[in-house]
C-alpha cells in the first residue's frame, strides 16, 4: 500500500499509579472496551483497500482540507481510506459511478459497523438512533404547522435527523437531494435502513475521540429553552472546573477511564457513555438514565433490551417483561431496572466522589422532580383533562392560550428545573426552573383557567372547584388560598432587617 505523509500519531494517554487508586481489577474488566475502538478485521482485506489510494492522491489536491483532516485522524494513521467507507454496490439507491468506482456521499452507521460492530450495536437500538422519528410529536407539529417545513428542515432535523432522499434518474442519480443533505442528525434515517449518524459526534473526516468527548459537541443539540443541558453544565461545578482544567482532561486517551486517565471534571460523555472504575464504555447514551425528564410528568424508567437489538422503556409501576418473554416482535434478552441504571451511573461517579456526595446528589435531584410532579405537573395535567372532557377547550392542541401556557410550564420551565437538578445547576433549578413554573402557574395558567370557564359558563365556579379539588389539598399551595402566615412573614422581616437595617422592610 502506498504511504502518504502522516501527521504525528496522537500522544499516548497519561499514566497514573493504579495501585494508589485500587483500580487494577476494574481496569482488567475494561480490556475489551479498550480494543473496541480499534478497526477490526484485516488490513488490505476488510479495510485499507489499495484502490482507495488513488482517491487519496486526488483529494490531496482537490480537497486539501478534507485530506488534511483524514490524514491526521486515527483512520488515516491506520490506512483506512476513502474507498473503505464510501464504496457501494452498483444499483444501491445512493450509489453513483466516480472515477471507475461506485461510491456514495453518505457514510452510514452500518458502513462504520464493518470495523466498529460493538459501537454500532450499542447505538442502533438507543434513544439517539430513534431521534429522527419525531413526526407524531407535539414538537414536530409546532415546527411543521405553526413554524414551517423549511424551519424544521434546517432546524429540528439537523439535530434529530431526517430521512435522506436521493435522485433516482438523470445526471445526479445516486446523489442526495439538497433538501435532505447535508444532515448529520443523531437519528438520521439512512438509505440502507440504519439509523443515526456517527459524524453527529465524531465530525468527518477527523472522527476525533477528543471532539466527541467535549461538552460542546453534545451542546450543539442539547441547548435552549426546552433542553438546556449545556447551559446547566456550564454553570455547574463540573463545567467550571472543566473549562479551567481542560488541558488536564487527556481527551484523546483511547480508554479514557474516569478517575484514572483524568480527574479534573466529567463531561457529558463521562457520565453517559465513557468508562469508569468497574464499568466499560457504551454508545447507548440512555442506559444510565433512571428518570425520564422529557414528558409533562416524570417517571423512573426500566429498560428492556430485545434480541433484535432494539430496546424500550417501561415506566415505574408498569409490568416489566422477563428475560425470555416475547415483546414487540422479538425476545427479551436483558432487563435493567431504574435502580440498575442508576447504579451504572453511580459507578462512574465513584471514580471521583465519595458515597456521601453521590447519595446526597440523588436525594436532592429526586426531591426536585417529586416537587415538580406532585405540586404542579400531576394536578395541572389532571385539570387540563377535565377541561377537555367538559368542553371548555377543544381536543386539538395549541388552539387555546391555556394550552400554550401549560406547554411552556412542563416543556420549558419544568424541564429546565428537572435538568438543572439532575446536573447540579442551581440557577436553572430555581430561577429558570421552579420559579418560572410557579410564576406561570399562579399568574398565567390559573387566570386562563378561569377565563375559559367563564367563556362557557358565564362564571368561574367550575374553575374554583377544580382548584379546590386538585390544588388546595397540597400543602405547597396553602399560601395561594390563605396567604402567607404571620410567622412566615416575620421570618422574612427579621432576615431582611438583619441585612439592611431596622425598618427597611415596609
Write the secondary structure of 275-304 as one string of H (helix), E (strand) and C (coil): CECCECCCCCCCCCCCEECCCCCCEEEEEE
Q: Is the separation of the CB atoms in 300 and 338 below 8 Å?
A: yes
Q: Is the separation of the CB atoms in 229 and 419 below 8 Å?
A: yes
Residue 49 has pLDDT above 50, yes or no: yes
321 grid coordinates: 417483561
Query: What number of other Cβ atoms are within 10 A of residue 457's Cβ?
Result: 13
Q: What pLDDT does residue 2 have?
A: 41
Domain boundaries, the chain: 38-200, 355-473
* C-alpha span between 427 and 436 (Å, rounded): 12
CA dist 252 to 55, 213, 256, 261, Å? 28, 9, 8, 10
Residue among 456, 347, 331, 438 nearest 393 (CA): 456
Q: What pLDDT does residue 4 have?
A: 53
Between 108 and 30, residue with greater pLDDT: 108
19: confidence class by pLDDT, cuts 50, 70, 90: very low
Taking residues 332-344, what's their average pLDDT?
A: 98
Query: What number of other Cβ atoms are within 10 A of residue 56's Cβ?
Result: 18
Q: What pLDDT does residue 471 have?
A: 98
38: confidence class by pLDDT, cuts 50, 70, 90: low
476: confidence class by pLDDT, cuts 50, 70, 90: very high
Residue 26 has pLDDT above 70, yes or no: no
Q: What pLDDT does residue 22 have?
A: 40
Q: Is the separation of the CB atoms in 414 and 439 below 8 Å?
A: no
pLDDT in tens, 208-240: 999 999 999 999 999 999 999 999 999 999 999
DSSP string covering 385-413, please? HHHHHTTSS-SSTTSSHHHHHHHHIIIII
43: confidence class by pLDDT, cuts 50, 70, 90: confident
First vs last Cα of the chain: how many Å apart?
Answer: 84
* C-alpha span between 460 and 100 (Å, rounded): 76
Percent of all residues in the chain with a pLDDT value above 70, rounded to a whole number: 92
Q: What pLDDT does residue 436 have?
A: 98
Average pLDDT for the chain: 91
Taking residues 91-103, what's their average pLDDT?
A: 96
293 grid coordinates: 425528564
10: confidence class by pLDDT, cuts 50, 70, 90: very low
Percent of all residues in the chain with a pLDDT value above 90, rounded to a whole number: 85
pLDDT in tens, 358-381: 999 999 999 999 999 999 999 999
Rg (the chain; Cα; Å):
27
Q: What pLDDT does residue 35 have?
A: 38
pLDDT in tens, 259-290: 999 999 999 999 999 999 999 999 999 999 99
Taking residues 119-123, what's their average pLDDT?
A: 95
* C-alpha span between 176 and 122 (Å, rounded): 27
pLDDT in tens, 244-259: 999 999 999 999 999 9
Angle between helices 446-457 and 401-408 (to 10 degrees): 160
pLDDT in tens, 138-197: 899 999 999 999 999 999 999 999 999 999 999 999 999 999 999 999 999 999 999 999
* C-alpha span between 487 and 474 (Å, rounded): 20
Residue 41 has pLDDT above 90, yes or no: no
Cβ-proximal residues to 126 (8 Å cutoff; 6+ apart), any chain? 283, 284, 285, 286, 287, 311
Q: What pLDDT does residue 310 have?
A: 95
Taking residues 315-339, what's their average pLDDT?
A: 98
Q: Is the separation of the CB atoms in 176 and 89 below 8 Å?
A: no
Q: Is the separation of the CB atoms in 59 and 67 below 8 Å?
A: yes
Cβ-proximal residues to 439 (8 Å cutoff; 6+ apart), any chain? none
Taking residues 337-358, what's their average pLDDT?
A: 97
* C-alpha span between 243 and 266 (Å, rounded): 11
CA dist 112 to 42, 53, 54, 83, Å? 15, 19, 21, 12
Residue 23 has pLDDT above 80, yes or no: no
* C-alpha span between 321 and 318 (Å, rounded): 10
Q: What are phi and psi of 103, to 5 degrees?
A: -135, 170
Amino acid at each position: 500500500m502506498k504511504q502518504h505523509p502522516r501527521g504525528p500519531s496522537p500522544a499516548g494517554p497519561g499514566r497514573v499509579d493504579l495501585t494508589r487508586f485500587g483500580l487494577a481489577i476494574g481496569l482488567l474488566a475494561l480490556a475489551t472496551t479498550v480494543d473496541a475502538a480499534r478497526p477490526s478485521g484485516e488490513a488490505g482485506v476488510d479495510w485499507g483497500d489499495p484502490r482507495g489510494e488513488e482517491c487519496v492522491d486526488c483529494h490531496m489536491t482537490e480537497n486539501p482540507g478534507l485530506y488534511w483532516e483524514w490524514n491526521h485522524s486515527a483512520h488515516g494513521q491506520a490506512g483506512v481510506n476513502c474507498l473503505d467507507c464510501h464504496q457501494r454496490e452498483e444499483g444501491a439507491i445512493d450509489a453513483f459511478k466516480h472515477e471507475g468506482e461506485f461510491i456514495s456521499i453518505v457514510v452510514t452507521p452500518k458502513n462504520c459497523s464493518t470495523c466498529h460492530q460493538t459501537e454500532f450495536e450499542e447505538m442502533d437500538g438507543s434513544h439517539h438512533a430513534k431521534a429522527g422519528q419525531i413526526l407524531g410529536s407535539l414538537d414536530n407539529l409546532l415546527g411543521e404547522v405553526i413554524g414551517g417545513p423549511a424551519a424544521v428542515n434546517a432546524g429540528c432535523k439537523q439535530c434529530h435527523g431526517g430521512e435522506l432522499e436521493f435522485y433516482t434518474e438523470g445526471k445526479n442519480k445516486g446523489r442526495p437531494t439538497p433538501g435532505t443533505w447535508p444532515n448529520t442528525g443523531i437519528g438520521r434515517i439512512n438509505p440502507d435502513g440504519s439509523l443515526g449518524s456517527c459524524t453527529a459526534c465524531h465530525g468527518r473526516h477527523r472522527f476525533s475521540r477528543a471532539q466527541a468527548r467535549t461538552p460542546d459537541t453534545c451542546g450543539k443539540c442539547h441547548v435552549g429553552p426546552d433542553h438546556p443541558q449545556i447551559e446547566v453544565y456550564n454553570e455547574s461545578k463540573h463545567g467550571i472546573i472543566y473549562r479551567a482544567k481542560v488541558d488536564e482532561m487527556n481527551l484523546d486517551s483511547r480508554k479514557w477511564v474516569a478517575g484514572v486517565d483524568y480527574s479534573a471534571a466529567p463531561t457529558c460523555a463521562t457520565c453517559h457513555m465513557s468508562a469508569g472504575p468497574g464499568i466499560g464504555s457504551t454508545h447507548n447514551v440512555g442506559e444510565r438514565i433512571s428518570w425520564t425528564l422529557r414528558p409533562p410528568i416524570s417517571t423512573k424508567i426500566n429498560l428492556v433490551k430485545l434480541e433484535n437489538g432494539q430496546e424500550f422503556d417501561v415506566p415505574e409501576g408498569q409490568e416489566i417483561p422477563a428475560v425470555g418473554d416475547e415483546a414487540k416482535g422479538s425476545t427479551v434478552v436483558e432487563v435493567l431496572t431504574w435502580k440498575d441504571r442508576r447504579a451504572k451511573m453511580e459507578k462512574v461517579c465513584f471514580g471521583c466522589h465519595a458515597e456521601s456526595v453521590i447519595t446526597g446528589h440523588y436525594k436532592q435531584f429526586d426531591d426536585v422532580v417529586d416537587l415538580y410532579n406532585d405540586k404542579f405537573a400531576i394536578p395541572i395535567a389532571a385539570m387540563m383533562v377535565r377541561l377537555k372532557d367538559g368542553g371548555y377547550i377543544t381536543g386539538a392542541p395549541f388552539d387555546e392560550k391555556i394550552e400554550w401556557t401549560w406547554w411552556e410550564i412542563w416543556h420549558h420551565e419544568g424541564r429546565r428545573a428537572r435538568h438543572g437538578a439532575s446536573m447540579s445547576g442551581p440557577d436553572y433549578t430555581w430561577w429558570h426552573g421552579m420559579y418560572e413554573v410557579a410564576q406561570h402557574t399562579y399568574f398565567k395558567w390559573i387566570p386562563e383557567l378561569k377565563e375559559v370557564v367563564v367563556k362557557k359558563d358565564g362564571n368561574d365556579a367550575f374553575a374554583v372547584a377544580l382548584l379546590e379539588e386538585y390544588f388546595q389539598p397540597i400543602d405547597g399551595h396553602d399560601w395561594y388560598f390563605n396567604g402567607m402566615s404571620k410567622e412566615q412573614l416575620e421570618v422574612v422581616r427579621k432576615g431582611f432587617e438583619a441585612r439592611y437595617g431596622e425598618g427597611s422592610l415596609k
